[in-house]
Amino acid sequence: MLTQTKRYPYSPIVRREKMSFPDGKRIAVLPYINIEHFPENLPGTPLSPQTTSFEPDVLNYGWRDYGNRVGIWRMMESLDKYGMRSTVCLNGEVCREYPEIIEEGNKRGWEWMGHGHNNSQLLPGLDEDTERSLINDVLAAIEKGTGHRPKGWLGPYVSETYNTPDLLAEAGVEYLCDFCCDDQPFEMNVKSGSLISMPYSVEVNDLPLALYFGAGGQEMGQMIRDQFDVLYAEAADNARVMAICLHTFVAGQPFRWKHISAALEYIAGHDGVWHATGGEINDWYRANYL
């Protein structure tokens, strides 16, 4: 009976080769922003589960749509102020539906990761050929819409099949964010090509914090600071990656962003912080540790 996933070996962080980052930076801070499209006629992430069976579900659709109409622009302004660039978990359909967001992200040097077609259609249950076509279609749509072929991938709603990592590596994707099990990148086992796992978080993540744990904006801001403080201290002799995972329709609400933005300002005030994208960390890891 298997007791561990075959996708990667067990490696306790205290017994592996110590990691370093460019110019002596001790911690890489990765603000992931999930920029998503939810088709009007399909169920999506709900604020109110009571209305998900309604056609149309105006309450939840409007709540989600706030992120692309207002929230993302508030978030962009703060990240600009603190010298941070986002690594965007991008639904391919965003390129068609909200091209202005792509235009502004490109101006800022943001990175675009694959994140499915939209966030209402998930991967589990797809056969291998169907999933292969979906992945390639998403990557092609993002490359056409942004001018950049994605190096990274996050499954929509962090969903996969058992084939997903192999199909991503086959398609030329270099890093995967689905396995939230480490504070450093590590190599994954795939049939062909090469794939590394990049730190992401399902806890330092506004969506579960707000919807499942009932955390307020002040609690979210304090959690980001606390996470940073511990990782920053640990990274004094072994570099760490800190993922901050945000959604435009959750973090982008004014009462939450007030506190999240203050936490980003706190981080930006420290020395030794690498404000990197996922692709830059991927390139550094591959050049120095593979």
What does the pLDDT look like over 151-210, one tens digit per residue? Answer: 999 999 999 999 999 999 999 999 999 999 999 999 999 999 999 999 999 999 999 999
State percent of the chain over pLDDT 70: 99
Say which residues have a Cβ less than 8 Å from residue 130's Cβ, sequence separation at least 6. Answer: none
* Angle, alpha carbons 219-223-226 (nearest 5°): 135
Q: Sorting pLDDT into bands at 50, 70 and 90, what band is 3?
A: low
The pTM of the full predicted model, rounded to 2 decimals, is 0.95
Domains of the chain: 21-289 (3.20.20.370)
Query: 215 pLDDT exceeds 50?
Result: yes
CB 169 within 8 A of CB 190: yes
Element containing residue 7 per DSSP (H, E): none
Query: 4 pLDDT exceeds 80?
Result: no
pLDDT in tens, 232-285: 999 999 999 999 999 999 999 999 999 999 999 999 999 999 999 999 999 999
